[in-house]
Amino acid sequence: MPTMSESETPNFRYTAALANEIEPRWQAFWAENGTFHAPNPAGVLADPGHPRAGAPKLHVQDMFPYPSGSGLHVGHPLGYIGTDSYTRYKRMAGFNVLHPMGFDAFGLPAEQYAVQTGTHPAVTTAANVERYKGQLRRLGLAYDDRRSFSTTDPDYYRWTQWIFLQVFNSWFDDKIRKARPIAALIAEFEAGTRPTPEKAWAEMSPVERRQLIDDHRLAYVSEAPVNWCPGLGTVLANEEVTPDGRSERGNFPVFQRSLKQWMMRITAYGDRLVEDLDTLDWPEPVKLMQRNWIGRSRGAHVDFGTATEDKITVFTTRPDTLFGATYMVLAPEHELVDKIAPAAWPNGTNPKWSASYTTPAEAIKAYRAEAAAKTEEQRTEGKEKTGVFTGAYATNPVNGKDVPVFIADYVLAGYGTGAIMAVPGQDARDWEFAEVFELPIIRTVKAPEGFEGAFTGDDVAINSDWLDGKGVVEAKAEMIAWLEQHGHGRGATTFRLRDWLFSRQRYWGEPFPIVYDETGLPVALPESMLPVVLPDVDDFSPRTFDPDDADSEPETPLSRKKDWVNVELDLGDGLKPYTRETNTMPQWAGSCWYELRYLDPQNDKALVDPDNEAYWMGPQRDGDCGGVDLYVGGVEHAVLHLLYARFWHKVLYDLGHVSSFEPFRRLFNQGYIQAYAYQDARGFYVPAEEVVERDGGYFYGDEAVTRSYGKMGKSLKNVVTPDEMCDQYGADTFRVYEMAMGPLDVSRPWETRAVVGSQRFLQRVWRLAVDEETGAVRVGDEPLEPAVRKHLHRTIAGVREDMDELRFNTAIAKLIELTNTLTPLPAVSREAVEPLLLMLSPFAPHLAEELWGKLGHAGTLAYADFPVADPAQLVAESITYPVQVNGKVKARVEVSPTADEASVREVALTAVAEALAGRTPKKVIVVAGRLVSVVV
């Protein structure tokens, strides 16, 4: 799609061809001169002579990409261009800007490609990274290239492994709610200040001691149930399993199995991960998603006695409603069900409760079979509540009353304690169940007059003995105190969050810096042995099994490399044989801390020099969490990546390695660029770029096609790449278009044909400065007309405000308006063109640099001062007031800005005298500087 013919175009017009001559030239200039190198306060990247050394800092970061084999499409760089425009502006406004870019290069696609083709993932990854770098460079993104790395670089994952060792070698001290070195725990056990669970420390064998210590580590090996997927040959995290119990990738069956796996004790940080959200400048929906994911609920564990020795423990968030607990429900699978159920129904059992079975055992057996056939989703969603009486009664500890114990599938075994106390008066599900089974309902919170159903609102307690008249919050606290005092329960906080499954049976990931000795217990390698380099192997795939073979065992690619697995090492006890851990870390590991490595990427003594960390990420004032000043990326990482990164950062903070206690102070979710796709009558996708719109329909050739909307991708045949846009229009036009098409946080459809509008804008700017026929500079030194000067300064003030708020679309609109004001003027004044170029340069840096040079400036404008509006020029000469009569504009009056309210009122009333038709105004409102409103 050529934009103009070669023959008649003026020689010096800003065409795609000219843009493609200018752009690589400036990219080379920036690279050669290190224009975007940011000086550190300390270390090899320190540069006291740099124009921004010691200036206020700004650390802006994009979520780094996984370099996929298909390269970038136009949607990917939206956020990158946004942060680039923002940081270029901030650099000109005086900040020392850190804006780096790296690559999240471990991951499954390269490994799967390796399995298929035999190409080493390192080769594929390196090629993809180079391709990405080329595409990003072509867009003119102003990164400090000295700070770029891939998570697959041994120099980088050395420190990922180092952090793992920090986590492994620490434990969470509940008393001070902080991670501490494991040595401190050992010291407490040795000194006897911390009790050991079974026998005294002195009587424990070395292995027992190690097991006890290992149970406290923040990284630990667990025999816990995991999602084992034989078809893929690996375990999966919960979020990689679909609701119907299959793998998200490949759709293989997933089995719950107890397997030895590495876990990270993220649950220890549950409270802080929730509470510190309050310190963050993040979108509220993302905070809410994190809160929901962590799922902290506060309440109490309450013990209900039974006829046998057993107690039924429930967790409730509403201990204040205990007097209204009129029955209990256990999950059908609950272990106590068989123990407490009597041999025969108690006398007078309601036939609805027993479901007409002759014994409790039969009823339970039948109900379990029924429940087992349902998925978790069906169980919790079921509209009609089902269940059956166990025949047993439990004792409500607050009033000694016997309450019947049911089993019902709306209580899940895997959630909480698998048992609930049912309070129909205050819980909708319990209310429904109580209605079905004719159970008593006692309100314990005062409900509004005439209220029907379960009341979950907040009012005073009733029917609750000593709690009567107290509010919910107070009643909860008093009940918890009473339960603890009488030994019937204790206050508790529970979390939905589970510990983080941290090992994968994969090749292309970071090896663990862990070996096992003859006891089978893990031993940390010393820092001096880092990095543990990922060895070459012949076969990259984990062993896969019959997808339905639940009893198969994972076999990792690294486990087959015996000469690597079996090593002789001296770890302090002389040379001994050890076996290496053969799992690798999940892809999240590398992205959990990369924001820190950008600060000091070449440091081989430390993860990051403390001076550099404090400067770029340290707290800026009392109570500030510190962290990256602006972190931009898609909302799809709202929970996992951001939660894991916060967790690691807090561990590093506790251990004294960083001064910030949050990694990302401000988060911004950019929208997505999506695209239309077209299908023919058979449902096949046709190339979107060849579809034309005519007669109110869409056609591929002569064939009518239907339009749909979705992600860009090969399968939908609707990919548009930044390279195509650069070829057709140049990078600057593409950048301006992406920034002008809407607010950064809103998703929108891509429309190639609209890009030309941005090119026309840049052509007009070019034409302001350069004669298209001769190439001569047209700019003169004559002063601006006063009205134009005012427009210029209004633009400067508005653009600065928009840039600060990341409102690039309206900033560009203001620049277009200014340009359109200047275009028809007979003389082109430097007074206007230079500030215009400086303001345009964050969006169209190559064009701005080129014209800046033509206007006689040497070097780059990257450090030129961003224009500042003259306040005197922002004062309007006159103000036009619309005059409304009963809300409709009937006239406009022009008055001096210094006119007082009375005179504005008088002028306005005169102007609308006709519309008033002699009626006397009831009310006249003069809004200074805005409008006049007359009410009759």
Partner RNA sequence: GGGGAUGUGGCGGAAUGGCAGACGCGCACGGUUCAGGUCCGUGUGUCCGAAAGGACGUGGGGGUUCAACUCCCCCCAUCCCCA
Binding of RNA by 1 (CB under 7 A): yes
The first and second tokens of residue 564, run together, are 């690597």
Segment interacting with RNA (CB under 7 A) among 62-70, 147-155, 744-752, 828-836: 744-752
E-strand ranges in 360-467 read 388-395, 402-407, 419-422
Give residue 465's Cα distance to chain centre: 47
Binding of RNA by 71 (CB under 7 A): no
Question: From the CB of 604, what's the least distance to RNA, in Å?
Answer: 39
x/- string (CB under 7 A) for RNA, residues 623-642? ------------xx--x---
What's the rounded Cα separation, in Å, for the pair 917 and 133?
Answer: 72
| Residues from 76 through 135 that contact RNA (CB under 7 A) | none
Binding of RNA by 477 (CB under 7 A): no
Question: From the CB of 776, what's the least distance to RNA, in Å?
Answer: 18
Question: From the CB of 524, what's the least distance to RNA, in Å?
Answer: 33
Binding of RNA by 201 (CB under 7 A): no
Taken in order 123, 124, 128, 131, the sign of the CA dihedral is positive
Is residue 714 marked as binding? yes
In the list 161, 884, 899, 911, the residue contacting RNA (rule: CB under 7 A) is 884
Question: Closer CB to RNA, residue 658 or residue 740?
Answer: 740
What's the rounded Cα separation, in Å, for the pair 312 and 405?
Answer: 10
Per-residue HEC secondary structure of 478-546 comes to: HHHHHHHHCCCEEEEEECCCCCEECCECCCCCCECCEEECCCCCEEECCHHHCCCCCCCCCCCCCCCCC
Question: Closer CB to RNA, residue 602 or residue 886?
Answer: 886
Segment interacting with RNA (CB under 7 A) among 119-127, 140-148, 651-659, 884-892: 884-892
Question: Closer CB to RNA, residue 293 or residue 357?
Answer: 293
Question: From the CB of 819, what's the least distance to RNA, in Å?
Answer: 8
**Residues whose CB falls within 8 Å of the CB of residue 696, separated by 6 or more in sequence, listed in order:** none
**Residues whose CB falls within 8 Å of the CB of residue 100, separated by 6 or more in sequence, listed in order:** 61, 143, 144, 147, 148, 598, 601
In the list 239, 703, 785, 804, the residue contacting RNA (rule: CB under 7 A) is 239
x/- string (CB under 7 A) for RNA, residues 761-780? x-xx----------------
In the list 31, 44, 288, 307, the residue contacting RNA (rule: CB under 7 A) is 288
Question: From the CB of 908, what's the least distance to RNA, in Å?
Answer: 12
Of the chain, the end-to-end C-alpha distance in Å amounts to 61
Segment interacting with RNA (CB under 7 A) among 321-329, 464-472, 552-560, 740-748: 740-748
Question: From the CB of 802, what's the least distance to RNA, in Å?
Answer: 8
If we measure between CA atoms, which residue out of 835, 851, 858, 857 comes closest to residue 770? 851
Within 805-885, where are the H helices?
808-822, 830-840, 845-854
In the list 784, 882, 916, 921, the residue contacting RNA (rule: CB under 7 A) is 882
Question: Closer CB to RNA, residue 3 or residue 349?
Answer: 3
Q: In this structure, what DSSP letter does residue 150 have?
A: B
In the list 820, 896, 903, 910, the residue contacting RNA (rule: CB under 7 A) is 820
Alpha-carbon distances, residue 147 vs 35, 40, 163, 506, 778 (angstroms): 14, 11, 20, 28, 41
CB 488 within 8 A of CB 500: no
CB 609 within 8 A of CB 43: yes
x/- string (CB under 7 A) for RNA, residues 822-841? -xx-----------------
Question: From the CB of 136, what's the least distance to RNA, in Å?
Answer: 24
Segment interacting with RNA (CB under 7 A) among 106-114, 467-475, 658-666, 925-933: 925-933
Segment interacting with RNA (CB under 7 A) among 157-165, 170-178, 469-477, 743-751: 743-751
Using CB under 7 A as the binding criterion, the count of chain residues that bind RNA stands at 67
Binding of RNA by 342 (CB under 7 A): no
Full DSSP string of 35-87: TT---BSSSTTB-TTSTTTTSPEEEEEEPPPP--TT---TTTTHHHHHHHHHH
If we measure between CA atoms, which residue out of 431, 426, 427 comes closest to residue 446? 426
Binding of RNA by 878 (CB under 7 A): no
Segment interacting with RNA (CB under 7 A) among 125-133, 157-165, 442-450, 923-931: 923-931
Binding of RNA by 378 (CB under 7 A): no
Question: Closer CB to RNA, residue 651 or residue 739?
Answer: 739
Give the Cβ contact number of residue 610 at 10 Å: 16
In the list 352, 486, 892, 919, the residue contacting RNA (rule: CB under 7 A) is 892
What's the rounded Cα separation, in Å, for the pair 640 and 238?
Answer: 11
Binding of RNA by 788 (CB under 7 A): no
Binding of RNA by 810 (CB under 7 A): yes
Binding of RNA by 377 (CB under 7 A): yes
Question: From the CB of 502, what's the least distance to RNA, in Å?
Answer: 19
Binding of RNA by 807 (CB under 7 A): yes
Full DSSP string of 335-375: THHHHH--SSPPTT--HHHHTT-SSHHHHHHHHHHHHHTS-
Residue 672 region by backbone torsions, left for phi larger than 0, else alpha for psi between -120 and 50, else beta:
beta
Question: From the CB of 562, what's the least distance to RNA, in Å?
Answer: 40
β-bridge mates for residue 297, sequence order: 494
Full DSSP string of 239-285: GGB-TTSBBTTT--B-EEEE--EEEE-GGGGHHHHHHGGGG-B--HH
Question: From the CB of 291, what's the least distance to RNA, in Å?
Answer: 9
If we measure between CA atoms, which residue out of 120, 123, 221 comes closest to residue 168? 221
Question: Closer CB to RNA, residue 285 or residue 440?
Answer: 285
* Element housing 787 (H / E): helix 786-804
Binding of RNA by 809 (CB under 7 A): yes
Binding of RNA by 284 (CB under 7 A): yes
In the list 621, 682, 694, 923, the residue contacting RNA (rule: CB under 7 A) is 923
Binding of RNA by 758 (CB under 7 A): yes
In the three-class reduction of DSSP (H, G, I as helix; E, B as strand; rest coil), residue 616 is classed as helix
Give residue 893's Cα distance to chain centre: 51
Binding of RNA by 447 (CB under 7 A): no
In the list 812, 839, 844, 847, the residue contacting RNA (rule: CB under 7 A) is 812
What's the rounded Cα separation, in Å, for the pair 597 and 600?
Answer: 5
In the list 240, 271, 362, 376, the residue contacting RNA (rule: CB under 7 A) is 376
Question: Closer CB to RNA, residue 148 or residue 819?
Answer: 819
In the three-class reduction of DSSP (H, G, I as helix; E, B as strand; rest coil), residue 380 is classed as helix
- What number of H helices and E strands is found in the chain? 29, 35
| Residues from 24 through 43 that contact RNA (CB under 7 A) | none
Burial of 186 from C-beta contacts in 10 A (0-12 / 13-18 / 19+): middle
If we measure between CA atoms, which residue out of 753, 693, 750, 765 comes closest to residue 729? 753
Question: From the CB of 925, what's the least distance to RNA, in Å?
Answer: 4
Binding of RNA by 499 (CB under 7 A): no
Question: From the CB of 770, what's the least distance to RNA, in Å?
Answer: 14
In the list 889, 896, 910, 913, the residue contacting RNA (rule: CB under 7 A) is 889
In the list 186, 289, 462, 784, the residue contacting RNA (rule: CB under 7 A) is 289
What's the rounded Cα separation, in Å, for the pair 589 and 430?
Answer: 43
What's the rounded Cα separation, in Å, for the pair 142 and 735?
Answer: 13
**Which stretches of the chain bind RNA, using CB under 7 A?**
1, 3-5, 7-9, 239, 243, 284-285, 288-289, 292-293, 376-377, 380-381, 635-636, 639, 740-743, 746-749, 751, 753-754, 756-761, 763-764, 807, 809-810, 812-813, 816-817, 820, 823-824, 880, 882, 884, 886-890, 892, 923, 925, 927, 930-931, 933, 935
Binding residues for ATP: 714
User: Which residues fall in the annotated binding site?
Assistant: 714
